Amino acid sequence: MRFVADVMLGKLARWLRILGYDVAYDPNADDEQLVQQAVSEKRILLTKDRHLVERWRKKLRLNGYLLLTSDDWREQLKQTVAHFGLDIHNRRHTRCPDCNGILKEVAKEAVRYRVPFFVFTQHDHFVQCSQCGKIYWAGSHYERMNAALDELLRDELSKGENANEVDNP
Ligand SMILES: [Zn+2]
């Protein structure tokens, strides 16, 4: 399941990437570019723009779309997760929040001079974005993100086995 997010949904795009989903996001894309990308790359459009949906409904029907109702990225993330029954456990931290690239394991020695020294000494596992080259490690930042996600998506998490039985209007 791949997405393209409209210009108003930068935060949502980041957090969906942190959950591991492929989300295209260009803060400069206009409506027509968004629709084109959705169609040509078979992506589901995430948008806050009702007029965009009304204007392009026929094209958007091909891959689907979701009209977000809240201005708050937290509510948007909840709505998206619930609507599509997204996997919020197993893909976390597999994509770069900055650029949507796939993260790949990289040898510790290879990052010696590319991360702060105290990080290098305290961590053994590093991943690198295959697109922008940014290096990540499972430090306190990851823990804070995971805690924020668990708190935010508590209702979804508690559904457990029934996670897919969400209402899909
Ligand atoms: Zn990246």
Q: Taking a C-beta distance cutoff of 8 angstroms, is the pair 46, 3 a contact?
A: yes
Which CA distances in Å does 124 have to 56, 66, 104, 136? 49, 40, 14, 11
In what order do the strands lie in the sheet containing 103-106? Answer: 103-106, 126-129, 135-137
Q: Which helix (H) or strand (E) holds 104?
A: strand 103-106
pLDDT tens for the chain, 169 residues long, are 999 999 999 999 999 999 999 999 999 999 999 999 999 999 999 999 999 999 999 999 888 999 999 999 999 999 999 999 999 999 999 999 999 999 999 999 999 999 999 999 999 999 999 999 999 998 878 888 999 999 999 877 776 545 454 444 4
Residue 100 alpha carbon to ligand 1 centre in Å: 6
- Alpha-carbon distance of 160 to 103, in angstroms, equals 27
Would you state the pLDDT for residue 6?
96
- Alpha-carbon distance of 140 to 162, in angstroms, equals 31
- Alpha-carbon distance of 142 to 149, in angstroms, equals 10
Residue 69 alpha carbon to ligand 1 centre in Å: 29
Structural tokens at position 132: 């922008």
Residue 15 alpha carbon to ligand 1 centre in Å: 14
Residue 105 alpha carbon to ligand 1 centre in Å: 13
- Residue extents of the structural domains in the chain: 2-93, 103-137
The model carries a pTM of: 0.88
Would you state the pLDDT for residue 160?
53
- Alpha-carbon distance of 104 to 146, in angstroms, equals 19
Residue 18 alpha carbon to ligand 1 centre in Å: 12
Q: Please enumerate in sequence order all residues whose Cβ is within 8 A of that of 3, keeping only pairs 6 or more positions apart, or say none.
A: 13, 16, 21, 22, 23, 24, 43, 44, 45, 46
CATH topology assigned to domain 2-93: Rossmann fold (3.40.50)
Residue 96 alpha carbon to ligand 1 centre in Å: 5
Would you state the pLDDT for residue 158?
73
Amino acid at 6: D
Residue 36 alpha carbon to ligand 1 centre in Å: 23
The label of the residue with tokens 């806050």 reads 48
61 in helix, strand or coil?
A: coil
Q: Taking a C-beta distance cutoff of 8 angstroms, is the pair 124, 108 a contact?
A: yes
Would you state the pLDDT for residue 163?
47
Residue 133 alpha carbon to ligand 1 centre in Å: 6
Listed residues: CB within 5 A of ion ligand 1: 96, 98-99, 101, 129, 131-132, 134
Would you state the pLDDT for residue 141?
82
Q: Please enumerate in sequence order all residues whose Cβ is within 8 A of that of 101, keeping only pairs 6 or more positions apart, or say none.
A: 95, 129, 130, 131, 132
